[in-house]
């Protein structure tokens, strides 16, 4: 068993609590499904948002998912690089797994697919 990181990112259209929660939960659901993991496999999750998203804590969106009540989740602000993607939510999910790094599926949804074109082979939606 090894500790591995699974990256995920998505974007929202508006800075609203409902949309931030839904998009975060949707990204996490894709990560769970594509990597065949469950909340008990997760050590912790770090979520960052761009500085144009302040209507809600994205972690609240994960609390609605079954089994996430005891998963440690922290939110932070992304570095505000002037030309960076706007309205973006990024996840770093740290899991215990037997998978090799090449077998991890990193998930990029909506406009966030532009962030890591080098990982397109891992984004098998």
123 in a domain, yes or no? Answer: no
Q: Is 90 known to sit in a ligand binding site? A: yes
Q: Kindly state whether residue 76 falls inside one of the protein's structural domains.
A: yes
Which residue in 78, 88, 100, 111 is the catalytic one?
78
85-101 pLDDT, tens digit each: 999 999 999 999 999 99
Q: What is the pLDDT of residues 11-55, one digit of tens each?
A: 999 999 999 999 999 999 999 999 999 999 999 999 999 999 999
Q: Is residue 124 part of a domain?
A: no
Establish whether 4 is a catalytic residue: no
Per the annotation, the verdict on 100 as an active-site residue is no
Number of domains in the chain: 1
Distances (CA, A) of 11 to 16, 19, 39, 69, 95: 12, 10, 23, 24, 23
- Give the structural domain span for 72: 2-116
Q: How much is the pTM?
A: 0.92
């Amino acid at each position: 068993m090894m500790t591995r990181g699974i990256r995920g990112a998505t974007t929202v259209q508006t800075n609203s609590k409902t949309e931030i929660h839904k998009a975060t939960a949707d990204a996490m659901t894709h990560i769970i499904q594509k990597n065949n993991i469950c909340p008990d496999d997760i050590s912790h999750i770090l979520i960052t948002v761009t500085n144009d998203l302040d209507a809600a804590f994205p972690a609240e969106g994960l609390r609605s998912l079954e089994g996430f009540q005891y998963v440690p989740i922290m939110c932070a602000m992304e570095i505000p690089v002037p030309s960076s993607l706007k309205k973006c939510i990024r996840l770093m999910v740290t899991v215990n797994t037997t998978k090799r790094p090449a077998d991890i599926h990193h998930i990029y949804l909506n406009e966030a697919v532009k962030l890591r074109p080098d990982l397109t082979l891992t984004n098998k939606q």
